[in-house]
Amino acid sequence: MIREEIGKVIEGALAGLKNELGNFSIEQISLEHPENAGHGDYSTNIAFALAKQLGKTPQEIAEAIKSKIQSLKSKIIERVEVAGGFVNFFLRREVLLEELARIAKEKDKFGAGKERKRVIIEFTDPNPFKVFHLGHLYSNTVGESLARILEATGAKVWRVNYQGDVGLHVAKAIYGMQKLKERMPGENASLSKKVGFLGECYAYGNAMYEPVDKNLLLGSPADEIDSWQKQEENEDTKRIVEINIAIYNKSDKEINSLYSKGRKWSLDYFDTIYKRLGTKFDHYYFESEVRGVGTDIVKKGLQKGVFQESQGAVIFPGEKYGLHSRVFINSQGLPTYEAKELGLAPTKYKDFKYDLSLIVTGNEITDYFRVVLAAMKELYPDLAVKTRHVTHGMVRLPEGKMSSRNKNIVVGEEFIDEVRSRVLKIMGARGSEVAEEDQYEAAEIIAVGAVKYSRLRVDREKDIIFDLEKSLSFEGDSGPYLQYTYARCKSILRKAPASVRQLADYGEAKQSNLSKEELDTLRTMYKFPEVVQEAAEKYAPSLVCNFVFELAQLYNNFYNTHSVLQADTEEQKQFRLLLTSAVAQLIHNSLYLFGIQTLEKM
């Protein structure tokens, strides 16, 4: 990458300044892109770091570095300037044109790294017997994007999905299935109807289950409480508790049958959503599979003093680690979420032998994972150091702006459907190049892109409010705006003569005189590989969003100022077609990293 080449130039200059400046040491050379393009393509504050060591002013050191670099006559640096102690570098135009040609030639491979890390990333994690809601939708969005960004660096990535197929929520749903069995859909019914029935059953069971005394939780999630500790229980609650235990023990034929039926319906339904979102998992893990492993780990940890008994349960004494205590095995000997999470870690490692394990969830369970990771560090320190909990903020909807048939729960599929309906209305109102028979499919692609980009464009850890109008804007920082810019580029290329278009495809066009708008676009395009690398290091898709939005703005500014197909000279036309082709390629590459499809026409 160009950044690395600039770093080598600075290292060479510093080596040549040892005698002049005196002895000094520097661990890392920091290079940034100045916010003001007039300050160059790269800037370093290294003179400030050396000033303290050498007893000189940053300005003096910066001038010495500038003079030395100029004497080296770098092939990539056109000139060096000093501003207030900062050393600013301007790239040669030939370098920018070479990068433009690389984009045209390497296409989808431009920006690909050679990282050889093995990464397993767990995300989405919906629970069978419950709805796939907005939280799952955005966990999938963040997880899939991170997977693609890491793959772009060269890493081997496995996508996995961990689902809670046992627990109190399942018992509630099965209780509802028993009570509402006369309304149960037949096997030939639609999957949507089957899943809708499961939702009704869970809602029924949940309504019949009494709330519990929060003082009994000891930090454990509500789904894993010791239900039997309640002083007063109604018959419905007792039956749900019995079903919960029967599921664990597989001791009741009718419950087993209902469990298998409902679990299959849910998983089949989830698969339709994953396909819609463009995600394909390499493996599915279930709580029912790891609960035994987790229970054994906690029992061994109890013998080692990592856990301790409390009120008949086994807890992790989080206070010793500056955290809070949590139940890992309840008083009936059943493992909680925490214990099963401990069982999942070595199970995943056995299957995939990863170098890094990422677990993507909403930030509302940050404290939960801090306790789990603290326990893991005591029991599996080698796995704990490989594990990262990557959180994302919550997504809320403006009051009264979008509807949901599930009261306070926004169903993921319904959410996308409503956005798609709005897209179809917009397409009808403003006109579209898309043939009428293809508009539904195009609206689906635009809707999914709008939903995904609305989350990814914002800092991963921040909460957002989904704004439907802004997310579907063709003129702002949105998925449709980027898709539209891509389609505009493709439209220009389609209209170009075949002979000229072929030259642009292979990066053979040249241009000696560049306008400000052309140069501004060029001075952004080459940054793509390093943006992807930084996004992978920081788990930050928003960095790629910032890059591609800026690029689209610069290209549209160029397009609105200059003609491509009616350029003054043939050389100019070829160059502008090459620029257009390369911009389209970078938008395509960026949107792919978000899990968003492009459209040739909009």
Half-sphere exposure of 305 (CA within 13 A, CB side): 1
Residues 76, 70: Cα–Cα separation, whole Å: 11
The predicted structure's pLDDT at residue 216: 37
pLDDT reading at 24 higher than 90: no
Residue 38 backbone zone (phi > 0: left; psi -120 to 50: alpha; other: beta) = alpha
Mean per-residue pLDDT, 264-283: 97
Tell me which H or E stretch contains 315: strand 313-316
DSSP 82: E
Does residue 290 or residue 428 have the better pLDDT? Answer: 290
Residue pair 276/416 in contact (Cβ under 8 Å)? The answer is yes
CA-CA distances (angstroms) from residue 258 to 94, 236, 370, 424, 542?
68, 18, 36, 40, 43
Q: What is the mean pLDDT of the chain?
A: 91
User: Given pLDDT bands bounded at 50, 70 and 90, which one contains residue 509?
Assistant: low
pLDDT per position as a tens digit, 361-370 = 999 999 999 9
Q: In what order do the strands lie in the sheet with 326-329?
A: 308-310, 313-316, 326-329
The predicted structure's pLDDT at residue 225: 44
Backbone angles phi, psi at 325, to 5 degrees: -80, 145
The predicted structure's pLDDT at residue 401: 42
The predicted structure's pLDDT at residue 217: 36
Q: Where are the beta strands (DSSP E) in 45-199?
A: 77-83, 86-91, 118-122, 156-163
The predicted structure's pLDDT at residue 393: 95
Residue pair 423/472 in contact (Cβ under 8 Å)? The answer is yes
User: Given pLDDT bands bounded at 50, 70 and 90, which one contains residue 545?
Assistant: very high
Residue whose C-alpha is closest to residue 197's, from 209, 215, 212, 179: 179
The model's pTM: 0.92
Pairing of strands 313-316, 326-329: antiparallel
Residue pair 554/489 in contact (Cβ under 8 Å)? The answer is no
Give residue for tokens 């002049």.
20
User: For a pLDDT cut of 90, what percent of the chain falls above it?
Assistant: 79
Backbone angles phi, psi at 86, to 5 degrees: -85, 140
Mean per-residue pLDDT, 11-15: 91
pLDDT reading at 37 higher than 90: no
Backbone angles phi, psi at 28, to 5 degrees: -150, 140
pLDDT per position as a tens digit, 350-394 = 999 999 999 999 999 999 999 999 999 999 999 999 999 999 999
pLDDT reading at 214 higher than 60: no
pLDDT reading at 219 higher than 70: no
Among 193-197, 233-237, 416-420, 483-487, name the one with the lowest average pLDDT. Answer: 233-237
